[in-house]
Chains A and B, each alone.
Chain A
């Protein structure tokens, strides 16, 4: 797998999410991703960016255009230094929320992307990586 393009963005305020989403859209369009898949990855990104803001006072996201030669895609890595998640399996359940919101962010994101990975350590922070393949 090769990385064709890589950029780092900081998200510490709500309004930072808009330029990030726009940038993501630009790259998705550039690799020829269809409208539905674009919408899915941007929605997923929106969820993860919001989690970072809401639970970890912000963080950084790496936006990469990747290729396996056969298929191109977008990889997003959300990294924060917030409180971490003690029980990941629980957090991945539909409807589980410590903030009395819908609890669909993490499980919904997983359904919207092609590959999903979450790592978290209490007191250290959380890293969520997602990949959406152009035709995935």
Chain B
């Protein structure tokens, strides 16, 4: 069966979705990613959707699921490169993906993830800031 490749880059995982997903492919991506985070101890997931022209509520849910599951496994998810038409459509559909971080492109996504990771580590190691949520 066709699969979406997951690339490992240090503490980050990079997924580039090149095809329009049909349901089974999206579901297997969700499962594969969660496995991979667990196996590699990745702290961040970058999903590049710049080649995706349609995101419906099913795909949207998968993206939301991936973000939520990664969070439980202590990894942050950033979706990058969403096309304007897709963003407008998702909002109209009623799915603003509020739990998911976004960035304009892969480069900015990496930056965002790195800054989140350093912030988190500083908070863990640092002694001046004891306030946890």
Contact = CB atoms under 8 A, between A and B. Distances in A.
A43 interface: yes
Nearest to A38: B85
29 contacts: A14-B24, A18-B20, A18-B22, A21-B20, A21-B54, A36-B84, A39-B53, A39-B83, A39-B85, A39-B89, A40-B89, A40-B92, A42-B53, A42-B54, A43-B55, A43-B89, A43-B93, A46-B54, A47-B56, A50-B56, A50-B58, A101-B57, A101-B58, A102-B95, A104-B57, A104-B93, A104-B94, A107-B94, A108-B57
Contacts of B88: 36, 39-40
A111 B91 CA distance: 10
- The interface centre, meaning the residue of A15, A17, A39 with most chain B CB atoms within 10 A of its CB, is A39
A130 B92 CA distance: 16
Interface in B69-121: 83-86, 88-89, 92-95
B5 to A, nearest CB: 20
B60 interface: yes
Contacts of B95: 102, 104, 108
Interface residues of B, number: 22
Interface of B: 20, 22-24, 53-58, 60-61, 83-86, 88-89, 92-95
A108 B10 CA distance: 39
Nearest to B23: A14
Interface of A: 14-15, 17-18, 21, 35-36, 38-40, 42-43, 46-47, 50, 94, 101-102, 104-105, 107-109, 111-112
Given A36-B85, A39-B83, A111-B92, 5 more contacts: A36-B89, A42-B54, A50-B23, A102-B61, A109-B93
Contacts of B86: 39
Nearest to A105: B57
A3 B10 CA distance: 56
A6 to B, nearest CB: 23
A107 B57 CA distance: 11
A47 B60 CA distance: 12
Nearest to A15: B22
A88 B63 CA distance: 28
